[in-house]
Structure 1
Amino acid sequence: MTYAPGARVRARSADPDHHTRVPRYVRGHVGEIVEVEGEWPLPDDQARGITPPRVEHVYAVRFPARDLWGAGTHSVVVDLWESYLEEVAP
Structure 2
Amino acid sequence: MSYAVGDRVRARAGDPDQHTRLPRYVRGQPGEVVALLGEWVLPDSSVAGRAATETCYAVRFAAADLFGSGDHTVTVDLWESYLERA
TM over 0.5: yes
Report if the CA contact (8 A) 1:9-1:30 is conserved.
yes
Distance (whole Å) between structure 2 residues aligned to residue 15 and residue 44 of structure 1: 14
Counterpart for residue 29 of structure 1? 29
Counterpart for residue 84 of structure 1? 82
Distance (whole Å) between structure 2 residues aligned to residue 81 and residue 13 of structure 1: 14
SS of equivalent residue, structure 2 residue 28? coil
Once the two structures are superposed, residues 43-64 of structure 1 have per-residue CA deviations (whole angstroms, 9 ceiling, x without a partner) of 0011122x2x221110000000
Length, aligned pairs only:
86
Deviation at 1:10, TM superposition (A): 0.4
Counterpart for residue 55 of structure 2? 57
Counterpart for residue 70 of structure 1? 68
Report if the CA contact (8 A) 1:65-1:75 is conserved.
yes
Distance (whole Å) between structure 2 residues aligned to residue 45 and residue 16 of structure 1: 13
Normalised by the length of structure 2, the TM-score is 0.95
Deviation at 1:37, TM superposition (A): 0.3
Counterpart for residue 14 of structure 2? 14
Q: Deviation above 6 Å: which 4+ runs of structure 1?
A: none
Structure 2 unaligned residues grouped into runs of 5+: none
